[in-house]
Structure 1
Amino acid sequence: MRIAPLDGLNETEHAPSVVASYGLGLDSTVMIARWLADPSSRDFELSELALVCAMTGHESQATISAVTRLILPMLTAHSVRLIQVARSQRRTTRAGAGVVVLDDSRSPSRLYADGVYTLGHEMISAATLPQLGGKRLCSVHAKGDALDPVIARITKGRPYRHAVGFEADERSRSDKDRLHDTALRTGWYPLQDWGWTRRDCSQYAMELLAEDIPKSCCGFCPFAMSSAAGRDQVIARYRREPLLAADALFLEYVARSINPSQTLIVGSSLADLITGAGLQEADALFQTRLDTCEWSLYEVRRVVRPGKDGGRGITARSLRVMATGTRGNMAEQLAAQPGQRVRGPDGIVRHILRDRSAGRTDHLFVAAPSGPQSKQRSGFEQWWQEATGEGLF
């Protein structure tokens, strides 16, 4: 079934003067809750407000439960418009192709948090993981690419303020966000206007809602695991929701099979974290998924391209799906491939023909769960020939 771009939006609604990005987490939830509970905190009527929420998938049930129980009834009581959207494919367009409207209501009763084409789908397809630092492209793709065409459609070419829940200690994030201002869009950061830090937000949530709002993030978010305190919180969440941990383990396993250096924790791995924390239920769910899912045999080649004038180079990759079947069948086919058979510290068996430690190239075969797509960078074969002296394939 073909889904028309932005099908499901209520086109009879007037253009809002304030659009708020709702990420379901503590900061944006408190920003919205205060507007509802304290009219003096805002300079607009609630009828002029639209909340937009991009569902990336892989959200904690604790977050979904808290928002469903505490916030959706408030939105309904105040007749606040909530638009829930998601991607239906990897790439979207400014016109809205690839974006699905899950719900557009002033009386929302549920969150469609499973999404459609999730961030996990994107990561598995590319056999990669979200990267720390930089532009947080995972958020740009899974949220921004879904929200931007929706916001453009509902504001109907009229000026609007775009409220984002950056708290007082996140000035660098709001400074970056202002770079996206246009003649129509003006970034606005109410929590910073109020001088509220995350601690203030947590205190307000307890006072108004009688409970805190759990952190909103994908179950495999490397940013959430980038500190010792963050990892402790992740472990606690995984104890309550072992399936969330199993999904994250699976994602890391697929990416790590293709590239051993890819893990969700710098200098370690999520697998090690979960083993060390004794999360046996999560590991059992993960192992069952490995045993029952479809597998493929992959050929992986990489070549390091030196940068110009001594600058940073790039690593180009060629990934080829050679066969697909059961886990046992792919293990048999891997055993028939050339190369040195090596079981890595991660427990994954690879047949290695070339190792970058002895040059600028990697060449290996590996069996791993299906999902990654055959793909190689433009110009790869020429670069491979230059680096190895081998003829073009």
Structure 2
Amino acid sequence: MSDQPQFRALSLGAGVQSSTLLALSAEGVLPKVDYAIFADTGWEPRAVYAHLDRLEREVAAPAGIPVFRVSAGNIRNDALNPDHRFASMPLHILNQDGRPGMTRRQCTGEYKVRPIKQKVRALLGYPYPNRIPKGVFVEQWVGISTDEFHRAKDADVKYMRNRHPLLDIPWSRSDCVRYLTSLGLADTPKSSCLGCPFHGNAQWRHIRDTSPSEWADVVEFDAAIRQGNARANASGSRLLGEAFLHRSRVPLSEAPINHVTAAERAALQLSAEEAQALESGVEDGCSPWACRGDAEALTQDGFGLAT
């Protein structure tokens, strides 16, 4: 039995860490990956798609690294389609009794992990439901830096073995930013859905102030999911409470997304750490094997009462 991978594949989210890994591989600083796989939720910010295009054109293609874009559908459209089974986003919930909660997170597995697994299986030559022989596996690179080492995880299938090269170097997110800046990629965006409930106020402001059309899009979506996803409502399983994109649990168009002043922080009884989290959100974007949502407690089971 060989202990060598069939190939190396980079899980490319097009954020800071995975962009760094792609560039390090393309430049020969790290071993060359055979493929880079981008899982497209269909609702990424325009800046992410533009950055991905540039990575493919200026970094991957000259190094001979194919970039595959895979998708399980459009997460926004699916949430609003009463005929589509929807993998729930971690929405902020206000229960009927006033208690806060969150819906269970299923979106990462459905829209990120599953299409990547399907592509890896196809590249191995064993598409589902074919059985992958024992000992056949790929080495999958995941962009986890030293300041988020706790997010590093193994894959949940034997045919994929996760590796975290940034931990081996070792590089922090700041090291990655400096490196990308040296390559002229200082504007690398965070990788996450346009309407991700884990955005901090800074990200919501950025959308509002720089892209009116995208802001209108997320405000419209926020209003549309107030009673949960469309299929649940159509089937009579209405959410017992109200759902919101912003953690303040008020409509996004009214949410307090400007800078929190010292007086506001005191009035809200926020610690410095809580105020920073409210402002910046989780520092890094959405990775299939290290979702930013893992830093939060998701306590909603389905679409009933959150606890």
**CA distance in 2 between partners of 1:69 and 1:160 (Å):** 26
- Given the alignment of the two structures, is residue 173 of structure 1 paired with residue 164 of structure 2, yes or no? no
Say whether 1:272 aligns with 2:272: no
State the Cα distance separating 1:86 from its structure 2 match.
1.2
Measured after TM superposition, the shift of residue 129 of structure 1 is: 6.0
Counterpart residue type for residue 40 of structure 1:
V
Q: What's the counterpart of residue 91 of structure 1?
A: none
From 107, 111, 136, the counterpart of 1:142: 111
Q: Secondary structure at the match of 1:83?
A: strand
Matching residue of 1:373: none
Q: Deviation at 1:24?
A: 1.4
Taking structure 1 as the reference length, the TM-score comes to 0.52
What secondary structure sits across from 1:84 in the alignment?
strand
Partner in structure 2 of residue 239 of structure 1: 209
Larger Rg: 1
State the SS of the aligned residue for 2:195.
coil
Distance 1:276 1:212 in 2: 22
Residue 313 of structure 1, CA deviation: 9.8
Question: Alignment partner for residue 41 of structure 1, among 20, 30, 50?
Answer: 30
Picking from 250, 256, 264, the partner of 2:226 is 256
In structure 2, the CA distance between the partners of 1:135 and 1:198, relative to structure 1 (3 Å rule), is farther
Question: After superposition, where does 1:116-131 map in structure 2 within 5 Å?
Answer: 117-125=73-81, 130-131=89-90
Compute the displacement of 1:125 (Å): 3.1
- Distance in 1 (CA, whole Å) between partners of 2:103 and 2:156 is 16
Indicate the residue corresponding to 1:217 in structure 2.
192
Could you report, residue by residue, the CA deviation over 1:169-209 in whole angstroms, capped at 9, with x for unpaired residues? 222321xx315151x32110111112222111111110122
> Residues 316 and 26 (structure 1 numbering): CA distance in 2 closer, same or farther, change over 3 Å?
closer
> How many angstroms apart in 1 are the aligned matches of 2:90 and 2:300?
18
For residues 287-342 of structure 1, give each alpha carbon's deviation from its aligned partner in whole angstroms, at most 9, with x where no partner exists. Answer: xxxxxxxxxxxxxxxxxxxxxxxxx996766xxxxxxxxxxxxxxxxxxxxxxxxx
Aligned length: 228
Give the aligned CA root-mean-square deviation in angstroms. Answer: 3.0
- CA shift for structure 1 position 231: 1.0
Greater percentage in strand = 1
Q: CA deviation at 1:34?
A: 1.1
Amino acid paired to 1:154: L
Structure having greater relative contact order (Cα 8 Å, sep ≥ 6): 2
Deviation at 1:16, TM superposition (A): 5.0
Note the residue ranges of structure 2 that are not aligned, 5 or more in a row.
92-101, 126-131, 229-238, 260-298
Distance 1:153 1:56 in 2: 20
Name 1:299's counterpart in structure 2. none
What letter is aligned with 2:139?
R
Q: 1:205 aligns with which of 163, 180, 193?
A: 180
Contact 2:248 2:255 (C-alpha < 8 Å) held by counterparts: no
Whichever residue aligns with residue 173 of structure 1, its letter is R
CA distance in 1, matches of 2:137, 2:257: 52
Distance 1:20 1:263, change over 3 A: same
Q: What residue identity is the alignment partner of 2:216?
A: A
**Which residue of 33, 57, 63 maps to 1:72?**
57
Question: Any gaps of 5 or more consecutive residues in structure 1?
Answer: 1-14, 88-116, 225-229, 278-311, 318-355, 357-393
Distance 2:303 2:103 in 1: 19
CA distance in 2, matches of 1:144, 1:51: 14
- Per the alignment, residue 370 of structure 1 pairs with none
Q: Give 1:25's aligned residue.
A: 15
The 2-side partners of 1:49 and 1:171 are apart by: 25
Distance 1:135 1:313 in 2: 5
Q: Residue deviations 1:188-235, cap 9 Å, x none?
A: 0111112222111111110122523011111110112xxxxx212321
Find 1:191's aligned residue among 139, 142, 166. 166
1:50 aligns with 2:35: yes
Question: Do the aligned partners of 2:87 and 2:110 also contact (CA within 8 Å) in 1?
Answer: no
Q: Residues 285-296 of structure 1 correspond to what in structure 2 (within 5 A)?
A: none
Identity %: 21
TM-score by length of 2: 0.65
- C-alpha contact 1:54 1:142 (8 A) present in aligned 2: yes
- Whether the 8 Å contact between 1:61 and 1:241 is mirrored in structure 2 is no
